[in-house]
Amino acid sequence: MAKEGALDEVCSLFKEAEDNLKEYEYVDDTILLPAVNQLRYAGYHLAKAYKIELSESPGIEELDLNITQARNHCKRSIFDSSEGVLLHHLDEVRQFQLDYSKIAVPDIVPDYIDLCTQITKARDLIREASQVPGDTRHEFYKKCREHVTSLKSITDTLSEARPELNKKVDDRNTSTLRWTFGITLAALGAFAAIFALMVAI
Amino acid sequence: MERLIDAFRPVKKPVELDKTASAKNVAKKLASGSVLVGQGKITTEAELSKKRNTILSHNFN
């Protein structure tokens, strides 16, 4: 008989993977196919384990192997969905940085530098995970979940700062416009003076 | 039991569901291991990879 603890763990991971898939659907409005496929793999191995369990002489090693594989596919599904959510939030941050590249953001978001450090750590985790073989990537699922939570809070903070930053952008644009207008006026004045002088001579 | 195991066999090819397709064609696509996609959009591995590359090439500091 399959170890009950191992099956409980698979059930709990399957539920977590499903919740993560729903979270991805909620933030990105799409279904993440690689994570869905991982759950299908998990279901496949569970069905195989069930078949072995029902057989007259169940092979314990094969049973354990299928349960382990089901567990790893659930973890990989959690990782894939979490990475998807993380990439979504990082893309929001990237867009934020492009929008306010000419503005001193720390004036409005005092802990911006610390936030950037956390953002970079999340980015580095994605890089690290992308460099390991696919069949061991599930090991990153817990770390990835932790970054999802912190990144969500960061993107919320940055979104709240947008109205104030937009005012700064407007002020900056107005100053630039005034400066350009002043310079143009001065150049025209100088040109008119030179022209008047030439006419007088 | 074999049918249960087959039902969970992983698939990779997403196919847009044609609303006018006959039930026979839909059954054929399902049998060939394609994921039928209705109105909802999906993110494929290729799209995720593209997103990942964009993020990895951005300097967040």
**A151-199 confidence digits (pLDDT tens):** 999 999 999 999 999 999 998 888 888 888 899 999 999 999 998 888 8
pLDDT of res. A111 = 94
Nearest CB to A126; choose among B5, B9, B56: B56
State the Cα–Cα distance between residues B11 and B34, nearest whole angstrom: 6
Listed as own residue / partner, the contacts of A98-107 with beta carbons closer than 8 Å and 24 or more positions apart are: A99/A165, A100/A165, A100/A169, A102/A169, A102/A172, A103/A165, A103/A168, A103/A169, A103/A172, A104/A168, A105/A161, A105/A165, A107/A168
Using CB atoms within 10 Å of the CB of residue A185, give its burial: 0 to 12 exposed, 13 to 18 middle, 19+ buried: exposed
Which residues on chain A place their C-beta less than 8 Å from a C-beta of chain B?
A: 28-34, 36-37, 40-41, 43-44, 46-48, 50-51, 54, 80, 83-84, 87, 90-91, 93-94, 97, 116, 119-120, 123, 126-127, 130
State the Cα–Cα distance between residues B56 and B61, nearest whole angstrom: 13
Q: How confident is the model at residue B26 (pLDDT cuts 50, 70, 90)?
A: low
The number of distinct structural domains making up chain A is 1
Closest to A112 in 3D by CA, of A70, A148, A165: A165
User: How far, in Å, are A41, A71, A73 from residue A14 at the CA level?
Assistant: 11, 8, 9
List Cβ neighbours of A19 (8 Å cut-off, separation of 6 or more). none
pLDDT of res. A5 = 84
Kindly list the domain boundaries of chain B, sorted by start residue: 2-56
Closest to A142 in 3D by CA, of A72, A88, A82: A82
What six digits make up the tokens of B30?
């399902």
Residues of B in contact with A50 (CB under 8 A): 1, 4
The DSSP letter of residue A56 is S
State the Cα–Cα distance between residues A116 and A119, nearest whole angstrom: 5
pTM over 0.80: no
Contact A127, B59 (CB under 8 A): no
Residue B56: Cβ within 10 Å count: 14
pLDDT of res. B11 = 57
pLDDT of res. A201 = 78
Reported as half-sphere exposure (CB side, CA atoms, 13 A), residue A158 has a value of: 25
> Would you say the ipTM is above 0.85?
no
pLDDT of res. A70 = 95
pLDDT of res. A176 = 85
3-state SS assignment for residue B30: helix
pLDDT at B37 over 60: no
pLDDT at B14 over 80: no
| CA distance, residue A25 to nearest chain B CA (Å) | 9
Residues of A in contact with B9 (CB under 8 A): 40, 44
Location of structure tokens 């279904």: A31
Closest to A121 in 3D by CA, of A163, A157, A93, A161: A93
pLDDT at B46 over 80: yes
Contact A179, A144 (CB under 8 A): no
What six digits make up the tokens of A151?
């990144």
| CA distance, residue B11 to nearest chain A CA (Å) | 7
pLDDT at B40 over 80: no
pLDDT at B19 over 60: no
pLDDT of res. A41 = 92
Residues of A in contact with B43 (CB under 8 A): 28, 30-33, 84
Q: How confident is the model at residue B41 (pLDDT cuts 50, 70, 90)?
A: confident
Reported as half-sphere exposure (CB side, CA atoms, 13 A), residue A61 has a value of: 0
Average pLDDT, chain B: 72
Residues of B in contact with A41 (CB under 8 A): 8, 10
The mean pLDDT values, 10 residues at a time, for chain A of 201 residues are 78 93 89 90 92 87 93 93 94 95 92 95 93 84 89 94 94 87 91 89 78
Give the pLDDT mean for B13-39: 61
Nearest CB to B55; choose among A32, A50, A126: A126
pLDDT of res. A139 = 83
State the Cα–Cα distance between residues A91 and A103, nearest whole angstrom: 19
Size of interface A-B (CB pairs under 8 A): 88
Residue A11 domain boundaries: 4-200
